């Protein structure tokens, strides 16, 4: 049922948003050239790596300077990138990840392996289901960049405070997961974006 829901709604979303995808592609190219998309290895269900897709919002090779984006004005973010990030538009290409079966519409946000290797046995349970575009943690930490910018050591704060809190919410989702829970999270995510 969940997989069928994912296929139908990701396909509908892609068809409806396709004209906007072309528009965002033109804006990205005119602002900072190619590539349009950014692909990053993330850890999916059963600890299997997959390539997560996003619209590129940072200057080329920015991930070599760190995996976390800190603050509202990270100098690596392009002009159009600020807009795409603010409204979570950069995440929309992940509808293709959902369609191809790497992700679900709702599920724990996938993490890079560097941080997954730090999970304890309880936290590793989040890898038992497909990661998603949105979840409880995405809603609770929609301003994660701002939170990290207030720390003297953003990565340490992420590892010791933010990541465990997000994983706790991920585990809560696994305990409560249902079709109605997914709908509730999708509606809350849309509400958070427009608020």
pLDDT at residue 151, as a whole number: 86
The SS3 of residue 43 is: strand
pLDDT at residue 193, as a whole number: 82
For the whole model, what pTM was predicted? Answer: 0.89
Instruction: Determine what percent of the chain is predicted with pLDDT higher than 90.
Output: 77
62 band by pLDDT with thresholds 50, 70 and 90: low
> Going by DSSP bridges, is the β-strand pair 104-106/132-134 parallel, antiparallel, or unpaired?
parallel
Give the tens place of pLDDT for each residue, 66-97: 556 655 567 788 999 989 988 889 999 999 99
145 band by pLDDT with thresholds 50, 70 and 90: confident
What tokens appear for 37 in the block?
A: 């998309």
Q: CA gyration radius for the chain?
A: 16
Bigger pLDDT: 1 vs 15: 15
Tokens 């592609």 sit on residue: 25
Q: Which of 140, 50, 38, 49 is nearest to 84 (CA)?
A: 38
pLDDT at residue 64, as a whole number: 62
Give the tens place of pLDDT for each residue, 35-61: 999 999 999 999 999 999 999 998 876
What integer is the mean pLDDT of 148-167?
A: 92
65 band by pLDDT with thresholds 50, 70 and 90: low
What tokens appear for 60 in the block?
A: 């080329």
Is residue 56 left, alpha or beta, with left meaning phi > 0 and alpha meaning psi from -120 to 50? beta
What integer is the mean pLDDT of 171-189?
A: 95
The greatest distance separating any two alpha carbons of the chain, rounded to the nearest whole angstrom, comes to 46
pLDDT at residue 148, as a whole number: 87
The SS3 of residue 163 is: helix
DSSP H helical ranges for 33-120: 79-86, 94-100, 113-116
CA dihedral sign of residues 129, 167, 155, 146: positive
């Amino acid at each position: 049922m969940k997989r069928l829901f994912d296929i139908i709604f990701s396909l509908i979303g892609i068809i409806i948003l396709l004209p906007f995808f072309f528009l965002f592609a033109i804006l990205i190219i005119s602002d900072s050239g190619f590539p349009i998309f950014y692909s990053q290895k993330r850890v999916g269900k059963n600890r299997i790596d997959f390539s997560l897709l996003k619209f590129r919002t940072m200057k080329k090779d920015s991930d070599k300077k760190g995996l976390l984006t800190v603050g509202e004005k990270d100098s690596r973010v392009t002009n159009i990138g600020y807009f795409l990030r603010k409204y979570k538009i950069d995440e929309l290409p992940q509808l293709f990840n959902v369609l191809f079966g790497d992700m679900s519409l709702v599920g724990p946000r996938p993490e890079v392996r560097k941080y997954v290797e730090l999970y304890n046995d309880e936290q590793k349970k989040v890898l038992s289901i497909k990661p998603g575009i949105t979840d409880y943690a995405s809603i609770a930490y929609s301003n994660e960049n701002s939170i990290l910018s207030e720390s003297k050591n953003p990565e340490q704060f992420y590892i010791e405070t933010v990541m465990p809190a997000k994983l706790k919410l991920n585990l809560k989702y696994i305990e409560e997961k249902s079709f109605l829970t997914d709908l509730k999270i999708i509606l809350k995510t849309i509400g958070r974006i427009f608020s």
